[in-house]
Amino acid sequence: MTLEKIILEILESRDTTNPTEVRQYCLDGYGLRVERVMDISEDDALKEGCVGTPCNHGSEWACTDCMNTGYIEPPSLDFMGMWDQINKKRGYSWYDNPYAWVIDYKILETGGNK
């Protein structure tokens, strides 16, 4: 089985993804890895649609609200809540820190059949 087929099977198993749309536009520059769910980066949490609470400190160079991270609450905190909402009842809570598949891919075209 190729990596492309493995990724398609994982994407197709997600409740929120239409398999037809996946086949149409997601398989360029893809990658697959495993990591602990608590190891998610802020960039990856943003890619999951979690925005956190950005800090609007402008040009202030020593912001005590966000400690210069740019966030009052980081996107990963939103991701933690989203993760538990979806997976806790399945026995994979955030605090159990389970392994998770991480799928990176580029969108080739948007399709337009949503």
Q: Cβ of residue 53: shortest distance to Zn ion, in angstroms?
A: 10
Positions touching Zn ion (CB under 5 A) are: 55, 57, 63, 65-66
Cβ distance to Zn ion smaller for residue 1 or 62: 62
Cβ distance to Zn ion smaller for residue 63 or 77: 63
DSSP β-ladder status, 99-106 and 28-36:
antiparallel
CB atoms within 10 A of CB 100: 17
Cβ distance to Zn ion smaller for residue 2 or 64: 64
Indicate if the alpha-carbon torsion angle 23, 13, 18, 33 is positive or negative: negative
